[in-house]
């Protein structure tokens, strides 16, 4: 299928209840925060990970939808698959470290990676680590998600009644509770912005089917990412702006300003504890050539 012909931007709203949406390893896995505003943060990498995981589940073993960046994946082995599939011999001197001198063959290697790995043709990849398969800039990019209001991380004590060894059980003389800590946010509504470039999609082959898969992933990714640490997370709203021209008909920031999230009137003095405490307002007066798509 041919690449998409239109540019898109999108606003993505999701929330968390009594969970940690994205722990910070530099802060003991506390929920990520902007220290100046106390607004919560979720990295683009965390969201991309969940998209990859969803695609891996929906498209398991389906040709063209393998995942390049996955847990315990050996990237050089992923790159070498392209050399082997195309029957390209490594250089006698440099081996796989450099792309073939024949530019057409070099492009074939990168195109093979795009055609076979969903996340390469979607997010791009630098595939030059030892076994060289080139590099490509992906058409889909995400910004950090930021909570609409400041959030309050809590540290909750937890216990474990089981023990791991007989010695540990005897030492505790029947009182076998092990204490621990769990970091949560009582409630937070997060907003992320995303971008889809039609011109970059031409280079990777990101298609209309891929775009629809991306929308499905953003709709359902939390449904297949449940864990005790993350509490209840839910996708709440996905609004996309489609441009008639592949280069775009309006600046992205002007379209993002069309979507505003505010507190329900009369409830702004108390902490939000659910999505019902907010209202999403969409200004439907759009620039010429831009169409609003409410995915959900």
Give residue 177's pLDDT. Answer: 65
- Is the separation of the CB atoms in 32 and 199 below 8 Å? no
Tokens of 44: 């683009």
DSSP classification of residue 276? G
Exposure of 71 by Cβ count < 10 A (0-12 exposed, 13-18 middle, 19+ buried)? exposed
Task: Measure the CA–CA gap between 254 and 263, rounded to whole angstroms.
Answer: 22
Task: Return the axis-axis angle of helices 75-86 and 103-116, rounded to nearest 10°.
Answer: 120
Angle of CA points 170, 173, 175, to nearest 5°: 120
Instruction: Tell me what pLDDT residue 38 has.
Output: 96
Q: Which pLDDT tens digits describe the chain residue by residue (296 residues)? A: 689 999 999 999 999 999 999 999 988 889 999 999 999 999 999 999 999 999 999 999 899 999 999 888 889 989 999 988 899 888 767 788 888 888 999 999 999 999 999 999 999 999 998 899 999 999 999 999 999 999 999 988 888 777 777 776 666 555 556 677 889 999 999 999 999 999 999 999 999 999 999 999 999 999 999 988 888 999 999 999 999 999 999 999 999 999 999 999 877 788 999 999 999 999 999 999 999 999 99
> Cβ-count burial of 190 within 10 angstroms (0-12 exposed, 13-18 middle, 19+ buried)?
buried
Long-range interactions of 156-162: CB distance < 8 A, separation 24+: 156/181, 156/182, 156/183, 156/184, 157/181, 157/182, 158/182
How far apart are the C-alpha atoms of 250 and 12, rounded to whole Å? Answer: 19
The first and second tokens of residue 269, run together, are: 């003095």
pLDDT score, position 155: 86
The contacts of residue 87 (CB under 8 Å, 6+ apart) are none
Q: Report DSSP state, residue 32.
A: P
pLDDT at 176: 57
Enter the DSSP assignment of 289.
Answer: T
Cα separation, 137 vs 120, in Å, equals 9
pLDDT attached to residue 235: 98
Closest C-alpha among 186, 143, 250 to residue 16: 186
Tell me the three state secondary structure of residue 100.
Answer: coil
Q: Is this prediction's pTM over 0.85?
A: yes
Calpha distance 182→160 (Å, rounded): 12
Element counts in the chain: helices (H) and strands (E): 8, 14
Instruction: Give the per-residue SS3 of 101-156.
Output: CCHHHHHHHHHHHHHHEHHHHHHEEEECCCCCCEEEECCEEECCEEEEEECCCEEE
Cα–Cα dist 98/46, whole Å: 31
């Amino acid at each position: 299928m041919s690449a998409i012909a239109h540019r898109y931007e999108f606003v993505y709203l999701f929330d968390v209840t009594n969970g940690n949406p994205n722990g910070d390893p530099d802060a003991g896995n506390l929920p990520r925060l902007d220290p100046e505003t106390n607004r919560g943060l979720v990295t683009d990498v965390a969201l991309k990970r969940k998209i990859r995981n969803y695609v891996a589940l929906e498209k398991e073993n389906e040709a063209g939808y393998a995942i390049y960046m996955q847990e315990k994946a050996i990237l050089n082995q992923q790159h070498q698959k392209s050399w082997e599939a195309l029957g390209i011999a490594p250089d006698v001197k440099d081996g796989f470290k450099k792309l073939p001198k024949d530019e057409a063959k070099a492009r074939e290697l990168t195109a093979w990676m795009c055609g076979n790995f969903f996340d390469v043709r979607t997010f791009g990849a630098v595939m030059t680590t030892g076994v060289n398969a080139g590099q490509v800039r992906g058409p889909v990019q995400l910004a950090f998600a930021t909570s609409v209001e400041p959030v309050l991380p809590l540290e909750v004590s937890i216990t474990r009644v089981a023990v791991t060894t007989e010695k540990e059980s005897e030492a505790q003389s029947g009182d076998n509770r092990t204490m621990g800590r769990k970091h949560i946010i009582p409630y937070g509504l997060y907003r992320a912005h995303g971008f889809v470039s039609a011109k970059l999609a031409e280079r990777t082959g990101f298609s209309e089917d891929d775009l629809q898969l991306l929308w499905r992933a953003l709709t359902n990714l939390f449904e297949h990412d449940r864990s005790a640490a993350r509490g209840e997370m839910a996708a709440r709203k996905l609004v996309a702006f489609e441009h008639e021209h592949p280069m775009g008909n309006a600046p992205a920031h002007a379209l993002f300003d069309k979507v505003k999230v505010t507190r329900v009137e009369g409830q702004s003095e108390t902490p939000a504890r659910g999505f019902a405490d907010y209202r999403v307002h969409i200004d439907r007066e759009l620039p010429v050539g831009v169409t609003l798509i409410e995915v959900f």
